[in-house]
Amino acid sequence: MKKLIWALLLTPMVGLAADEPVNVTAQQFVDLQQGNAVYPGFRRAHAKGICVSGEFRSNGQLSDYSKAPVFQSGATPFTGRLSIAGNNPTAPDLKAPVRSLALSFSISSTEQWRLAMNTPPVMAVADPHTFYQQILAIQAGPAAIKQFFSEHPESKEFLAWAAQYKASGSFASETYNSINAFYLINHNGKRQAVRWAMQPTVTVATTDAQDVDALQNEIANRVVAGNVVFDWVFTLADAADDENNATKAWPDSRQKITAGQIVINNTTAQLEGGCHAINFDPLVLPTGIEATADPILRARSSAYAESYRRRATEQLTGALKEPEND
Amino acid sequence: MTNTERFSLSMRLFHWGMAALVFAMLTAGLLMVASLDGWQLTVLTAHKVFGVIAVLLVSARLINRLRQAIPALPDDLSHWQKMSARVSHWLLYGLLFAMPVSGYLMQYFAARPIDVFGWFRLPAALNVDIYTYALFRELHSVFAIALICLIALHIGAALHHHIIRKDKVLKSML
């Protein structure tokens, strides 16, 4: 309650410092993401995707670090979604700069876990208000984005990743990163900051396919032929690492633990599958995992909530229509 | 009605305690849905926990209210004024229940269990029902706006009694 009162008192003071970006609201942020072309009933970001399902096969290696039951050895089923960045649910798969994997573990009536992961391992900026400026610059064109990055040295690691990243020909051959850090809490209450990545177990070369649904068709066919598998690899921070700054990767020398494998054994079109209804808010966490204070992580939850409210209400009022492919 | 001059101590405590709680909850609610800042999670978590407390408090308050006599309204009030006083009071009780219940149900159908101080969690649906979530999400907003309007009317009426009519209605709750 004390924190609450302070938060309320301090709110008007935020953003007064001269070099701080203008504070934006969740509504302004989602307005910017959805742009001028609104697709009623669809996510305002990562609108195009395909539902997947399968199970997490835990090897038990992480159970000393987190008391979350999913990390005991054994299998936990999930509903998930593979998607591409952008506001358009019919956009061409191969044009998107970012690909994503989201998972939902519905463990019990009191334990849920949602994860939303992207191909970049770090963010270009460390807070949501600067992120808003970054999206504005992206929308304004190459000159503006060049200018933006020159004024934001914290984007160095992101730019280095983008320079060497080559999009592959499949959702199955990408690495999906938590980007933000979380705390694992073990049975003794000990807290360990971690990031994680879903690492592919296959390599698929870049494709020059022209099909707008190239990635969705590829993954659907691939899953029919056999399971698609990722290794779930956790990186443990040490005292020198800042768990609240999503622009900085931790050194490669940090301890890594493979907790098991994510096995995808089914795909479904998103409006027919179980993933469309889910808000993959990364702050829906089970016992044994907690949020860090990373400003980007905190902001994701409120922006997702605004996007979810809009599309859910559109769906309730019957505004959702499946758009035709152009 | 009886000749009681003042609301009982328990009723006054419930009234002012819940006034503070409702004010904090409405303020927190309006600010947190707009904010992208780090405190949002802290306030949201507190908002849910205090919603659980609110439903317990308003239940106890209603039982307490039904078991006790309250001061009669001034005799010279017109029929419609007495009616609107009674209707608005029962509407306030209704909304004090509707707010936490709709808040919980929107979380329930979004399959988001509510953590209460890390002691226990309130259950949620296993699978998301996006239609029912949307219904309760919008109802939660509509109820909040109705509650704000009704509280404004309630405060206006109390001041009207005290300043213009100069009767004992406001004093009976002090």
Whether the per-residue pLDDT at A11 is higher than 60: the answer is no
Structure tokens at A27: 């509504």
Three-class secondary structure of residue B30 per DSSP: helix
Q: Identify the sign of the CA torsion A269, A273, A277, A280.
A: negative
Residue A57 DSSP label: E
CA distances for A35 relative to A98, A135, A138, A311, angstroms: 18, 11, 12, 14
**HSE, side-chain direction, 13 A CA sphere, residue A50:** 22
Cβ-Cβ contacts under 8 Å, B28 against chain A: 4, 8
pLDDT digits (tens, 9 = 90+) for A98-109: 999 999 999 999
Cβ-Cβ contacts under 8 Å, B32 against chain A: 302
ipTM of the complex: 0.89
| Average confidence score pLDDT of chain B | 92
CA-nearest of A127, A133, A134, A146 to A98 is A134
Q: Do B113 and A312 touch (CB under 8 A)?
A: no
A284 to chain B, any CB pair closer than 8 A? The answer is yes
Percent of chain A with pLDDT over 70: 93
Q: What is the pLDDT of residue A19?
A: 62
pLDDT digits (tens, 9 = 90+) for A251-307: 999 999 999 999 999 999 999 989 999 999 999 999 999 999 999 999 999 999 999
Structure tokens at A213: 């649904």
Confidence class for position A323, pLDDT limits 50, 70, 90: confident
User: What is the mean pLDDT of the segment spanning B139-145?
Assistant: 97
- Nearest chain A residue to B36 by CA distance is A299
Cβ-Cβ contacts under 8 Å, A296 against chain B: none
Whether the per-residue pLDDT at A8 is higher than 60: the answer is no
For the A21-123+168-316 domain, the top CATH level (class) is mainly beta
Task: Check if the beta carbon of residue A71 is closer than 8 Å to that of residue A261.
Answer: no
Whether the per-residue pLDDT at A37 is higher than 90: the answer is no
Q: Do A295 and B24 touch (CB under 8 A)?
A: no
Structure tokens at A255: 């301890």
Determine the angle formed by the axes of helices A295-316 and B130-159, rounding to 10 degrees.
Answer: 100
Determine the Cα–Cα distance for residues A229 and A221; give it in Å rounded to an integer: 14
A74's enclosing H/E stretch is strand A74-84
CA-nearest of A286, A27, A288 to B111 is A286
- Nearest chain A residue to B39 by CA distance is A7
Task: Give the distance from CA B124 to its chain's centroid.
Answer: 23
pLDDT digits (tens, 9 = 90+) for A53-76: 999 999 999 999 999 999 999 999
Q: What is the pLDDT of residue A14?
A: 47
Structure tokens at A167: 């999009």
| Contacts with A, B 23-82, CB within 8 Å | 24, 27-28, 31-43, 46
B130's enclosing H/E stretch is helix B130-159
DSSP per residue over A212-277, as a string?
Answer: TTHHHHHHHHHHHHS-EEEEEEEEE--TTS-TT-TT-PPPTTS-EEEEEEEEEEEEEETTTSTTTT
A43 to chain B, any CB pair closer than 8 A? The answer is no
Q: Which of A29, A276, A283 sits opposite B36 (nearest CB)?
A: A29
Number of helices and strands (H, E) in chain A? 7, 10
DSSP per residue over A271-317, as a string?
Answer: TTSTTTT----TT---TTEEE---HHHHHHHHHHHHHHHHHHHHHHT
| Average confidence score pLDDT of chain A | 92
| Contacts with B, A 181-200, CB within 8 Å | none
B20's enclosing H/E stretch is helix B9-32
pLDDT digits (tens, 9 = 90+) for B93-130: 999 999 999 999 999 999 999 999 889 999 999 999 99
**Residue ranges covered by each domain of chain B:** 9-173
Q: What is the pLDDT of residue A257?
A: 98
Task: Check if the beta carbon of residue A312 is closer than 8 Å to that of residue A41.
Answer: no
Whether the per-residue pLDDT at B155 is higher than 70: the answer is yes
Least confident of A232-241, A264-273, A308-317, B2-11: B2-11
Three-class secondary structure of residue A23 per DSSP: coil
Q: Which of A4, A110, A111 sits opposite B42 (nearest CB)?
A: A4
Among residues A46, A129, A152, A276, the one annotated as catalytic is A46
**Catalytic residue flag (residue A46):** yes
Determine the Cα–Cα distance for residues B135 and B132; give it in Å rounded to an integer: 5
